[in-house]
Amino acid sequence: MRPREASALDALPALPRDDDGPVFAEPWQASAFAMTLALSERGVFSWAEWVDTFSGELKRAAEAGTPDDGSRYYHHWLAALERLIAEKGLADPAILVDARDAWDRAAKATPHGKPIGLSPDDLARIRDAG
């Protein structure tokens, strides 16, 4: 891990990680993490802005009674990322919901070990909404 990455990750003390960096239970978690870093590195939002948004998401979850056992960490991460993407005008929140629902349907319909793919109808709906 590069020194800059280490210092940025220090601002997220609850991040699931080992000595080599973040650890992910599922591929989508790594993708959400990578998108967040890429958007921050490109100046779409600052890392401080990200930490504030993510902290707010964790606070909302705690206030709603979501258990703080770490199992939902990346769900909160994704919710914070979607919030920033919508606030920055990069995507309409409704499109984000449609895309998340389409991927959820596709994942549930895909046999274990097979690649997940969106149906042509879902792809068209998301593309047309954008």
SS3 content of the chain, % helix, strand, coil (to 5): 65, 5, 35
Per-residue pLDDT at 13 exceeds 70: no
pTM exceeds 0.85, yes or no: no
Q: Quickly count: other Cβ atoms within 10 Å of residue 101's Cβ.
A: 13
- Per-residue model confidence as pLDDT tens digits over 90-127: 888 888 888 888 888 888 888 888 888 888 888 887 77
Helix (H) or strand (E) holding 75: helix 73-87
For the chain, give every domain's residue range.
1-90, 92-130
> Angle at Cα 109 formed by Cα 81 and Cα 105, nearest 5°?
35
Closest residue by Cα to residue 36 from 64, 57, 18, 62: 57
Residue 113: how many other CB atoms lie within 10 Å: 5
- For the stretch 16-75, pLDDT in tens is 767 777 778 888 888 899 999 999 999 999 999 999 999 999 999 999 998 777 788 899
